[in-house]
Amino acid sequence: MNKTSKNIIRIVILVLISALIGFSIYSINAARLNGDALPMPLGFGASVVLTGSMEPALSAGDMIIVVPQESYALRDVIVFQTGRSAVVHRIIAIDGDQFITQGDANNTADDPISFSNIKGKVILVIPFVGHFINLIKTPIGTIILLGLAVWLLEGSFKKDKKRDAEELDAIRAEIEKLKNEQK
């Protein structure tokens, strides 16, 4: 792999890690300061399923991508806010502006919610990734991620530095050899 490719990979890794940490910090602050259980800074939200109330469709630890919709239909899996918490359940009845939801694994329906409480519809499920996201959201997880990023980046730079030093030594040796031949 050439030097340009390595530099591009380093930049991509750094940007991804920075974006992940930035989004985590933004989400934590939005939740704590504004009471927003599912911030959507780019028009969509990402959340982690915390319970098994939607088994078998969704499991605890799944990551979900949520997008607001202009309308919602029966059987849509939605995220709605109740207090400072986000709940992921399926719409089982609609009465005007009121929606009745229920977890697939639950025996009883939830209290009715209004359209304004709905954050969006689940459009993508990524199994198990939520466990990693939850780890990153902890202070120790953030420190581990930053440490890993520094280690990966520094390790790849060390190889380049060593190779450059070896090339420089070879050039110096060649210069000395040429100097000795001219004497």
Q: For position 43, what pLDDT does the model report?
A: 87
Q: For position 132, what pLDDT does the model report?
A: 83
Please say if the pLDDT value at position 119 is more than 70.
Answer: yes
Q: For position 53, what pLDDT does the model report?
A: 96
Please say if the pLDDT value at position 48 is more than 70.
Answer: yes
Please say if the pLDDT value at position 74 is more than 90.
Answer: yes
Task: Name the average pLDDT for the chain.
Answer: 86
Q: For position 31, what pLDDT does the model report?
A: 64
Q: For position 30, what pLDDT does the model report?
A: 66
Among the listed ranges 76-80, 86-90, 142-146, which one has the minimum average pLDDT value? 142-146
Residues 6+ apart with CB under 8 A from 14: 149, 153
Query: Could you tell me the domains of the chain?
Result: 35-136 (2.10.109.10)
Taking the whole predicted model, whether its pTM rises above 0.85 is answered as no
